[in-house]
Amino acid sequence: MEKNKKILGMGNAVLDIIFSSDDNQIKKFGLTKGQMSIVDQKTSDETISGLTVRKKSSGGSVANTIAGIGILGQEALFCGRVRDDEIGKDFIEDISKSGVKYLCEPVINGPLTAKCLVFVTDDGERTMQTFLGASVNLEAADIKEEYFENVSILFVEGYLWSSDSARKAIFKAVKFAKDNNIQVAFSLSDSGLVKAFKDDFNEFISEYVNILIGNESEFSALFGQENIDDLNKNIGKLVKLAVMTNGSKGAVLFNNDNFKTFSSFPNDNILDSTGAGDMFAAGFLFKLNQGKSLEESVTFGCNVASKILSQYGARPSKEMFKEFISN
């Protein structure tokens, strides 16, 4: 791949609002620790009322990855829908600070911009309550061919699949990508989502995807196996290149019917696991886009992922990544 080319991400545009929390507060809001709940705007507004915000940052899985890529120094673009409201403006301002060009025009009607309330407990576990708002109304009209000029990788978020209009936007984007010899990377995003759309995902990945990214539970949901040898055989039937993150154990690279395991980088100051998988994808795609080997790209992804564990939230600072930016 040509290292001067851009990486374009498509995903839910969500403002993450982060709070320090404890198990009692999580139970009070009727949430299940470590999981995400989807709620309506009224419930989201009632939950946030009276809470002390620790941090705000533009979020969404692929948006996090694209921001990480921008901070690392690669020209990066993001397409996701926000409303022309305060939270939408916060989202655009924050992702732009990462060096990312935000592409889609904010809409003036319809649901408000999405927000995710992230409750982080002392053990670093995150529990989320999400109002998806405008993000799920991304549509084919939002995708313009000029967005794909000088793009080498299109990274698509699986979460978008649950919306009919966003799914149409995905197909428009991947067809542009194929017509312009752009690699399509796809994030599985969530094991529950994979189970709900397993047949759709299999067909989509086989037809359009060059690079598959997900965690152990998502790969298990898609392929029905947890044994690494069985996974390898089945992944090879669907896609040539895949990377599977495995929390503190590191990651596994699957390529042309072979696999290789990679250890995680140690971190003795874990505050929050939010966004570790997103930052792995940032590091991996960043190096891959520079023309580095698959092994170097996965190793770098593991290194970048380890750094984000030492802060609250999924969005790194340039200071946190300074050792990588100089390389």
> Per-residue b/e over 268-305, b at no fewer than 16 CB within 10 Å?
eeebbbbbbbbbbbbbbbbbbbbebebeebbbbbbbbb
Strand partners, 151: 6
Confidence class for position 266, pLDDT limits 50, 70, 90: low
Sort 92 into a burial class: Cβ within 10 Å, 0-12 / 13-18 / 19+. Answer: buried
- Residue 4 pLDDT level (bands cut at 50, 70, 90): low
For residues 79 and 289, is the Cβ–Cβ distance under 8 A?
no
Residue type at position 91: F
Phi and psi at residue 287, to the nearest 5°: -70, -40
Degrees, nearest 5: CA angle 219-221-227: 60
Q: Is 30 left (phi over 0), alpha (psi -120 to 50) or beta?
A: left
Q: List pLDDT tens digits, range 178-207.
A: 999 999 999 999 888 999 999 999 999 999
pLDDT at position 154 is 98
Q: Is the pLDDT of residue 226 over 90?
A: no
Instruction: Of 144, 97, 95, 90, give the one whose Cα is nearest residue 114.
Output: 90
Query: Which pairing describes strands 114-120 and 14-20: parallel, antiparallel, or unpaired?
Result: parallel
Instruction: Answer with the residue of higher pLDDT: 277 or 167.
Output: 167
pLDDT tier for residue 322 given thresholds of 50, 70 and 90: low
**Which residues, other chains included, contact 221 with Cβ-Cβ below 8 Å and sequence gap of 6+?**
188, 191, 192, 194, 195, 198
Q: Is residue 308 scored above 70 in pLDDT?
A: no
User: Which of 24-33, 198-207, 211-220, 313-322 is predicted least confidently?
Assistant: 313-322
pLDDT in tens, 121-154: 888 787 889 999 999 999 999 999 999 999 999 9
Phi-psi region of 256 (alpha: psi -120 to 50; beta: other; left: phi over 0): left
Q: Is the pLDDT of residue 314 over 60?
A: no
Asked if residue 16 has pLDDT above 90, the reply is no
Residue 81 to residue 32: CA distance in whole angstroms: 28
The predicted model gives 274-278 an average pLDDT of 77
Share of the chain above pLDDT 90, in %: 67
Identify the burial level of 103 via C-beta atoms within 10 angstroms of its C-beta, where 0-12 means exposed, 13-18 middle and 19 or more buried.
Answer: middle
Task: Give yes or no for residue 265 having a pLDDT over 80.
Answer: no
CA 54 to chain centre: 22
Confidence of residue 37 (pLDDT cuts 50, 70, 90): confident
235 confidence band (pLDDT: 50, 70, 90): very high
Q: Residue 318: is its pLDDT beyond 80?
A: no
- Convert the pLDDT of each residue in 45-77 to its tens digit: 999 988 888 888 888 889 999 999 999 999 999
pLDDT tens digits, residue range 99-125? Answer: 999 999 999 999 999 999 989 888 878
Reported as a pLDDT band with limits 50, 70 and 90, residue 95 is very high
What do you get for the CA distance between the two ends of the chain, in Å? Answer: 18
CA–CA distance, 135 with 112 (Å, rounded to integer): 9
Residue at token pair 């542009």: 176
Question: So where are the chain's domains?
Answer: 6-12+59-111+135-325
The H-or-E segment that residue 129 falls in is: strand 126-131
Q: Give all strands of the β-sheet with 114-120 in edge-to-edge order.
A: 36-38, 126-131, 114-120, 14-20, 55-59
Round to whole Å and give the CA distance between 207 and 114: 30
Q: Yes or no: say if 18 and 120 are a contact pair by the CB < 8 Å rule.
A: yes
What is the predicted pLDDT for the residue at 246? 82
Is the entire prediction scored with pTM above 0.75? yes
Q: Does domain 6-12+59-111+135-325 have CATH number 3.40.1190.20?
A: yes
Angstrom distances, CA of residue 56 to CA of 9, 19, 48, 244, 310: 21, 9, 13, 28, 16
Q: Is 90 exceeded by the pLDDT of residue 211?
A: yes
Query: Taking 90 as the threshold, does the pLDDT of residue 320 lie above it?
Result: no
pLDDT at 234 over 60: yes
- What rounded mean pLDDT belongs to the chain? 88
The reported pLDDT for the residue numbered 177 is: 96
Per DSSP bridges, beta strands 114-120 and 211-215 are unpaired
CB distance 276 to 246 below 8 Å: no
